[in-house]
């Protein structure tokens, strides 16, 4: 567990890659703003939900560049207790969490695998983007989390998703998917900030080999997507060993390229060198997002095209 006072020492190894490092450290002391995504599958008229929330004293402000997202004041308002939440009109989620699905660009009619899907913020965002007309397989290895995912699909009125319970590394389907999202289990460093102490899952002593798990998931995802299809790999950590080095591993094993992508939040290119190791130059097309620049959680996103 990391105390706030230990953060400067913990994040020191990133001081050359995190821009404006001192401001980053200061920003960790600020609590995370509260946002929600408006779910058009259940709530065709945004005004209906926004007026309902306003009656309960909630101020909402649209997020520029992210059409269905709203910032909420006060930031500690219990959105989960509202009728709007219960009816599936809103899904509380942070704005950087929207980025992997923006990279995925889901379309109606596509076969899409969400390999690490629970509790479903991105599955439900995929369904919404594809107007509930894609075929979505939402997978997770944990039954308790899959239960929450099923409840969220029901609450948000998603009819286009089925759920499966597999370790992603051995996901069995023989049908090639058009797109696969790997929102990988990770050390969660990007979520660290005041009020979230203890949320760092990263085991400095190396009890859990997250990069090994992440490499297994990404390679399997790549083999499940059709030639010309797309895999989006994302994490909420700054750690290059869980980000660029995982994608670098894939690029050396398979015929793939990283596609450039436009995002509505400020970002930086993926790194192409880490601790003396030269990485694939295409990693510059991946994107790094930092909390002090996005007012959100730190994220890494790579959009990968299968070439052969």
Ligand X SMILES: C[S@@+](CC[C@H](N)C(=O)[O-])C[C@H]1O[C@@H](n2cnc3c(N)ncnc32)[C@H](O)[C@@H]1O
120 is a site residue for ligand X (CB under 6 A): yes
Kindly tell me which residue out of 183, 189, 248, 293 binds ligand X, with binding defined by CB under 6 A.
183
* 8 A C-beta contact, residue 63 and residue 71: yes
Per-residue contact string for residues 60-99; x = within reach of ligand X by CB under 6 A: ----------------------------------------
Q: Are strands 287-289 and 268-269 parallel, antiparallel or unpaired?
A: antiparallel
Sign of CA dihedral 146, 110, 261, 89: negative
Angle (CA) 239-143-135 rounded to 5° is 85
Q: Is 256 annotated as a binding residue?
A: no
HSE toward the beta carbon, residue 289, CA cutoff 13 A: 27
Kindly tell me which residue out of 88, 157, 168, 240 binds ligand X, with binding defined by CB under 6 A.
168
The single-letter DSSP state of residue 10 is: H
The closest of 108, 119, 214 to 163, measured between CA atoms, is: 119
* 8 A C-beta contact, residue 88 and residue 77: no
| Contact set for ligand X, span 200-239 (CB under 6 A) | 213, 217
Cis omega (within 30 of 0) on the bond before 119? yes
151 is a site residue for ligand X (CB under 6 A): no
- Of the ranges 69-77, 166-174, 250-258, 280-288, which one interacts with ligand X (CB under 6 A)? 166-174
Q: Is 5 annotated as a binding residue?
A: no
Does residue 236 have an active-site annotation? Answer: yes
With respect to ligand X, which residue has the nearer C-beta, 183 or 293?
A: 183
Sign of CA dihedral 197, 202, 204, 206: positive
- Of the ranges 50-58, 105-113, 138-146, 288-296, which one interacts with ligand X (CB under 6 A)? 138-146
* 8 A C-beta contact, residue 13 and residue 241: no
* 8 A C-beta contact, residue 117 and residue 139: yes
Kindly tell me which residue out of 2, 58, 82, 119 binds ligand X, with binding defined by CB under 6 A.
119
Cis omega (within 30 of 0) on the bond before 74? yes
Active-site entry in 43, 186, 236, 267: 236
107 is a site residue for ligand X (CB under 6 A): no
196 is a site residue for ligand X (CB under 6 A): no
- Of the ranges 1-9, 65-73, 134-142, 243-251, which one interacts with ligand X (CB under 6 A)? 134-142
Size of the site for ligand X (CB under 6 A): 19
Binding-site residues for S-adenosyl-L-methionine:
116-122, 140, 183
Q: List, by residue number, the catalytic residues.
A: 236
Q: Footprint of ligand X on this chain (CB under 6 A)?
A: 115-122, 140-142, 145, 167-169, 183, 185, 213, 217
């Amino acid at each position: 567990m990391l105390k706030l006072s230990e953060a400067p020492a913990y994040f020191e190894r990133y001081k050359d890659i995190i821009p404006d490092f001192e401001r980053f450290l200061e920003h960790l002391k600020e609590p995370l703003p509260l946002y929600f995504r408006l779910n058009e599958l259940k709530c065709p008229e945004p005004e209906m939900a926004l007026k309902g929330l306003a009656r309960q004293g909630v101020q909402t402000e649209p997020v520029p560049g992210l059409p269905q997202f709203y910032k909420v004041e006060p930031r500690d308002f219990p959105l989960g207790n509202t009728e709007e939440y219960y009816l599936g009109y809103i899904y509380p989620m942070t704005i950087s969490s929207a980025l992997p699905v923006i990279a995925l660009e889901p379309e109606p009619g596509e076969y899409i695998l969400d390999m690490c899907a629970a509790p479903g913020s991105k599955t439900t965002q995929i369904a919404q983007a594809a107007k509930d007309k894609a075929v979505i397989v939402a997978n997770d290895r944990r039954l308790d989390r899959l239960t929450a995912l099923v409840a969220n699909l029901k609450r948000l009125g998603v009819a286009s998703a089925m759920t499966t319970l597999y370790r992603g590394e051995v996901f069995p389907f023989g049908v090639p998917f058009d797109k696969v999202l790997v929102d990988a289990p990770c050390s969660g460093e990007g979520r660290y900030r005041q009020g979230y102490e203890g949320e760092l899952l990263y085991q400095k002593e190396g009890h859990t080999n997250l990069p090994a798990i992440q490499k297994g998931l990404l390679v399997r995802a790549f083999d499940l997507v059709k030639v010309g299809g797309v895999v989006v790999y994302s994490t909420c950590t700054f750690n290059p060993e869980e980000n660029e080095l995982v994608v670098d591993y894939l690029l050396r094993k398979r015929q793939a390229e990283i596609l450039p992508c436009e995002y509505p939040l400020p970002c930086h290119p993926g790194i192409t060198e880490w601790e003396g190791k030269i990485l694939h130059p295409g990693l510059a097309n991946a994107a790094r997002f930092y909390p002090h620049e996005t007012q959100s959680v730190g994220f890494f996103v790579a959009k990968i095209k299968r070439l052969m």
